[in-house]
Chain A
Amino acid sequence: MISPVLFPLLAACGYAVFGWRAATAWLGALAAAGQLGAAVTLAVATTGQPRTALSGLLRADALSAFMLIVIGVVALLAMLASPSYLAADLAARRTGPRATRRYGILTQAFVAAMALAVLAASLGVLWVAVEATTILTAFLVGSRRTRQAVEAAWKYVVICSVGIALALLGIVLTHYAASHAGLPPAGRLDWAVLARDAADLDPGVMRIAVALLVLGFGTKAGLAPMHAWLPDAYGQTPAPVSALMSGVLLSVAFYAILRVKVIADIALGPGFIRTLLLIAALASLAVSAALLLAQRDYIRMLAYSSIEHMGLVALGAAIGTRLAMAAVLLHVLGHGLGKSVLFLSSGHIQQAVGSSKISAVTGLASRAPLLAGAFGLGLLALLGMPPFSLFASEIGIARAGFTAGLGWAVAVALALTLVIGAGLLSGGRRMLLGPLPPGGTVPLAPPADGAIRLARSAAVPLVAGLLACAALGVAGGPLRHLLETAATMAGATP
C-alpha cells in the first residue's frame, strides 16, 4: 500500500544519482506505470473494506484508490511525454543538464507527495503533503528564470501558501473541536474517526473550521475567488508539469474538500458546505467565462478552462447525491485525461512556434495534422462532447442537480458553460484553421513548408490519452463499481 508513494520516490532518487540521461529518461514513466498498477491492485482490494498501513498513518478506501488511479494515469501520460519535451528543450538550448536533473527529481517527488496526500489518514498529514506539492512545484514553475517566470512563481508560492495556511487554521480548529468532544488523541485529526463522531463536534467551532478548510484547499484547487495564481503559473511551467498540476493537483486539493465535506455534512448538516461550494462553483464558472471570451493566450485559455472544470466538480459536490458524486469522480478522471492531452500538445505547439499567443499559431491543421487533431479533439472532450467521458459526467451532474432541487444553479452553470464553450471554440478555430503563415514570419519552422514535426514518442501519450478518455465515455463499466463505492465514501446522500 505504501508502494504508490515509494515508486516515484525511488525514481526521484534515481534522477538525483544519475541525472537525466537517455537511459534514465523513461524511469519516471516506469515509476508512474508501477504506481498505476499498485493503484489498480489497491482499488480491487479496497472496494469492500478500507485498509490501513504504517500504524494507522496511511489509510486507503475506494476514494483514495480512485484518486491514486487518476494520479497514476496522468503521471504516466506526463512522464511519457517528458523525454521528447525535454529533448526538444535541450536541443534548443533552453535548458541544461542541471535543470533536467532537477526536473526529474522534483516531478517525481511532486507525484509522490500527491500520492501521500490521498493516502494520508490524518487531515494534518494531508495538509503537509498538499503544502509540499506547492514547495516542490515552485522551482518547476520558475524554472525559466525570466521575469514572467519569477513573477509567476512568486505569486504561486505566496497565494497558495497563504491559502493553505488558512486550511491549517481550519485543521487546528477541527482538532480543538475534536479534543473538546473527547475523541482519543490519536484520532483527533483522522478523517474516519472524525466522520464517525462528527455529530459530537461543536457546530460553532466547526462552522469556522469548515469555512477555512474549504477556502484554503479551494485556493489550491483553483476555485474562485483565490484562483489568481493559476493562469500565471501554468503559462510558465513545462508542459508535462502543467498537465500534472491541472490534471491531478487541482483534483487532489479537491479530494481534501470531499473529505472535509463528509465531516461537515454530519457536524453541520448538508446545507452549510453546500452553500459554500455553490458560491465557489458559480464564481469559478463566472470568472472563467468572463476571461475566456477575449483570451489571446492559448495556455491561459486552458488554465481558465481548468478553473471552469473545478467549478463543475464543486457544483457536483454541492449537489451531493450518489449520482452527482459518481459523476464528479468520473469528471475528475476525464478532465485529468483530456487536460493532460491539451497541455502536452500545447507544449509541443509552443516549442515549435516559440510563443503562447493564439495569434502566433495559424493553420495548424495543415502544418501538423496529428498535433492539431489531438488539440482539437482534446478541446471537444473538454467541451463535453460525446464520446468523451466528460459528456457522461456533465450530464450526470446536471441530472442530479435537477432531481436534487438545485435546478437554478445547474441552469446558471450550463449557461456559463455555453459561454465558455464559445470562447474555447473560437480560440481553437483561430489556431487550427486560418491561412498558413507566410514562410518568413514564423520564427521557428525548420522545414521550409512550415510543417511542425512531432516525434513519435511524443505522439503516443496524446493518442493514448484521447483514446482512454473516449473509452471511458463509451464503456465506463469496469469502473462503475469503484466509482459507486468511492462516491459512498465521499459522503454521497441517496
Chain B
Amino acid sequence: MSDSVYMPLLDLACGAFLLAGVLVLWRRDLAAIVRLFALQGAALAALVIVLAAHEGSAGLAAAGVAVGGLRAGLLPHLMRRALVAGGEGQESRPLVNVATSLLVAAVLAMVAYDASQPLVRLTPTPATQAVPVALTVLLVGFFVLVTRRRALSQVVGFLLMDNAITATAFLTAGGVPLVVELGVSLDVLLAVLVLQVLTLRMRAAFGGTDLDELRELRD
C-alpha cells in the first residue's frame, strides 16, 4: 500500500477509535454506550487491518479480523444481553457531570500526548505517532471507570482501557507474540463473563447495579 493511501486510512481509523472512546463520556444511554464500544472495536480492527495491508502480513490481518470478532462482535453482544436482562437503560448520576467530564477528557488528551513523547521519539513512524491516541483512550477509560456509577459503565471503562492497550501493542510493534495475545484475549473475555455474573448477583442482592450501594465494607 502506498503511503498516500496508508496515512489517511491510518489516521481515519485512529480518529474513529478516539472519537468512539470519548463519546462514551457524553452518552448517558447505556445501549448507546455499548454501541459506541462496538464501533470502537470495529475501528481497532480496521486499524490493525490497515497496518497489515501496509506491511503485507497475512498473520497481522488475521489478528485484525480476530480482534474485530472479539471486540466488535462478542463482547458487545455479551453486554447487550446483560443490559436486556437488567432493564436499566440509563447511567444514573455520574460522579462528575457530563460537561465537566468532557472537559477533563480534553485535559487527559494533553496528558497522554505529553506522556507518550518518549515512545514517539524512539521510532517516529506514522503508526507510532498515533500512540498518543491510544493512551488518551486509556485515560478516558480509566476516567469512566472511576466516575461512572453503573456496573455496566465500569465494565465498558475497563474494556476501553483494554482496547487502548491492544491498540498500543499493534501501533508500536505490530502486536505481541501470539501466545500472549491469545492469553490476553481469553483473560479479558473471562473477566467480562465474571463481571457479568457478579452483576447478576449484585442485582439479586441489592436490587440494582448502582455501585453507590456498595458501601458496606469500609474502615
Name the distance in Å between B10's Cβ and chain A's nearest Cβ: 17
Give the shortest distance, in Å, between B79 (CB) and chain A (any CB).
Answer: 15
Q: Which 9 A-B pairs have the closest CB atoms?
A: A124-B180, A204-B118, A128-B183, A176-B172, A151-B214, A179-B173, A172-B169, A131-B187, A232-B217
Stretch of B37-45, B101-109, B188-196 that contacts chain A = B188-196
Interface 9-residue window, one of B18-26, B28-36, B65-73, B158-166:
B158-166
Given contacts A157-B191, A185-B177, contact A176 B122 (CB under 8 A): yes
**Residue from the list A157, A168, A179, A231 in contact with B195, Cβ < 8 A:** A157
- Whether, in the assembled complex, B142 has its beta carbon less than 8 Å from a beta carbon of chain A, the answer is yes
A175 and B119 contact, CB distance less than 8 A = no
Selected contact of B180 from candidates A161, A189, A235, A300, CB within 8 Å: A189
Of A155, A165, A171, A180, the most chain B CB neighbours within 10 A belong to: A165
Helix, strand, loop or mixed for chain A's interface? Answer: helix
A172 near B172: Cβ-Cβ < 8 Å: yes
Most central of A122, A124, A131, A172 by chain B CB within 10 Å: A172
Of the candidate stretches A138-146, A270-278, A375-383, the one touching chain B is A138-146
With A172-B165, A207-B118 known as contacts, the answer to whether A125 contacts B183 (CB < 8 A) is yes
Residues from chain B with a CB closer than 8 A to the CB of A300 are 219
User: Is B93's beta carbon under 8 Å from chain A?
Assistant: no
If A161-B191, A162-B145, A189-B176 touch, whether A138 touches B219 (CB-CB below 8 Å) is no
CB distance from A458 to the nearest CB of B (A): 27
Is B74 in contact with chain A by the CB < 8 A criterion? no
Task: Give the CA-CA distance A247 to B145 in the complex, in Å.
Answer: 30
User: Contacts A146-B205, A205-B119; is A162 near B217 (CB within 8 Å)?
Assistant: no
Distance of A329 Cα from B219 Cα, bound (Å): 31
- A63 → B minimal CB distance (Å): 21
Question: Are B201 and A155 neighbours in the complex by a CB distance under 8 Å?
Answer: no
Known: A124-B176, A173-B168, A177-B122. A147 touches B154 (CB 8 A): no
In the bound complex, do residue A147 and residue B216 qualify as a contact, i.e. CB atoms below 8 Å apart? yes
- CA–CA, A57 and B191, complex, Å: 24
Closest to B195 in A: A157
Report if B84 contacts A (CB, 8 A). no
Least CB distance, B158 to chain A, in whole angstroms: 6
Within 8 A of A (CB), among B124-183: 138, 142, 145, 151, 154, 158, 161-162, 165, 168-169, 172-173, 176-177, 179-180, 183
Q: Given A122-B177, A208-B118, decide whether A138 and B142 contact each other with a Cβ distance below 8 A.
A: no
> In the bound complex, do residue A124 and residue B162 qualify as a contact, i.e. CB atoms below 8 Å apart?
no
**In the assembled complex, B98 has its CB within 8 A of some CB on chain A:** no
Judge if B62 is at the interface, Cβ distance under 8 Å. Answer: no
- Report if A322 contacts B (CB, 8 A): no
Contact A154 B151 (CB under 8 A): yes
Q: List 10 A-B contacts (CB under 8 A).
A: A125-B179, A150-B214, A157-B191, A158-B154, A161-B191, A162-B145, A162-B158, A177-B122, A180-B173, A232-B217
Name A45-62 residues within 8 Å CB distance of B: 57
Contacts A131-B187, A153-B198, A300-B219; A205 near B180 (Cβ below 8 A) = no
Q: Is A132 an interface residue (CB 8 A)?
A: yes
In whole Å, how far is A376's beta carbon from the nearest beta carbon of chain B? 24
Interface magnitude class on chain A:
35 or more
Is B115 interfacial (CB 8 A cutoff)?
A: yes
Give A contacts to B, CB under 8 Å.
57, 122, 124-125, 127-128, 131-132, 134-135, 138-139, 142, 145-148, 150-155, 157-158, 161-162, 165, 168-169, 171-173, 175-177, 179-180, 185-186, 188-189, 202, 204-205, 207-208, 231-232, 235, 291, 295, 300
* Known A-B contacts A125-B179, A132-B187, A146-B205; A138 and B198 likewise in contact (beta carbons under 8 Å): yes
> In the bound complex, how far is the Cα of B218 from the Cα of A232, in angstroms?
8
Please tell me the number of chain B residues within 8 Å of chain A, measured between CB atoms.
44
Q: CB-nearest residue of chain B relative to A185? A: B177
Given A152-B217, A157-B198, A202-B122, A124 and B179 contact (CB-CB distance below 8 Å): yes
Is B83 interfacial (CB-CB < 8 Å)? no
CA distance A462 to B215 in the complex (A): 34
C-alpha spacing A106/B183, complex, angstroms = 18
- B-chain residues with CB within 8 Å of residue A127 when the two chains form the complex: 180, 183-184
Chain A residue with minimal CB distance to B186? A128
What is the 8 Å Cβ interface bit string for chain B, positions 195-213, against chain A (1 contact, 0 not)?
1011001101110000100
Q: Which residues of A contact B123 (CB under 8 A)?
A: 180
- A135-B187, A162-B161 known; 20 new pairs, CB 8 Å cut-off, are A57-B179, A122-B179, A125-B180, A127-B183, A146-B205, A147-B206, A150-B205, A150-B206, A153-B201, A154-B198, A157-B195, A173-B168, A176-B119, A176-B122, A180-B123, A189-B176, A189-B180, A205-B118, A205-B122, A208-B115
Known A-B contacts A142-B198, A165-B158, A291-B219; A134 and B191 likewise in contact (beta carbons under 8 Å) = yes
Q: Which residues of chain A have C-beta atoms less than 8 A from B205's C-beta?
A: 145-147, 150
Residues from chain B with a CB closer than 8 A to the CB of A180 are 122-123, 173
Residue pair A169, B176 in contact (C-beta under 8 Å) = no
Q: Answer whether A168 and B165 are a contact pair too, CB < 8 Å, given A128-B183, A175-B176.
A: yes
With A and B bound together, what is the CA distance between A189 and B181 in angstroms?
12
The answer to whether A139 and B194 touch (CB under 8 A), given A124-B176, A128-B183, A162-B145, is yes
Bound-state Cα–Cα, A142 to B216, Å: 14
Closest CB-CB distance, B196 to chain A, in whole Å? Answer: 11
Chain B residues whose C-beta falls within 8 Å of the C-beta of A139 in the assembled complex? 194, 197
- The CA-CA distance from A149 to B7 in the complex, in Å, is 50
What residues of chain B lie closer than 8 Å to A125, measured between beta carbons? 179-180, 183
- Let me know if B158 and A208 touch, CB within 8 A: no
Among the listed B177, B184, B217, which residue makes an inter-chain contact with A168, where contact means beta carbons less than 8 Å apart? B184
* Least CB separation from A172: chain B residue: B169
Q: Which residue of B lies closest to A207 (CB)?
A: B118
Q: With the chains together, A176 CA to B121 CA distance in Å?
A: 12
Residues in B with CB closer than 8 Å to A134 are 191
Report which of A135, A177, A205 forms a contact with B191, defined as CB distance below 8 A.
A135
CB-CB nearest in chain B for A300? B219
Least Cβ–Cβ distance between B116 and chain A, in angstroms? 8
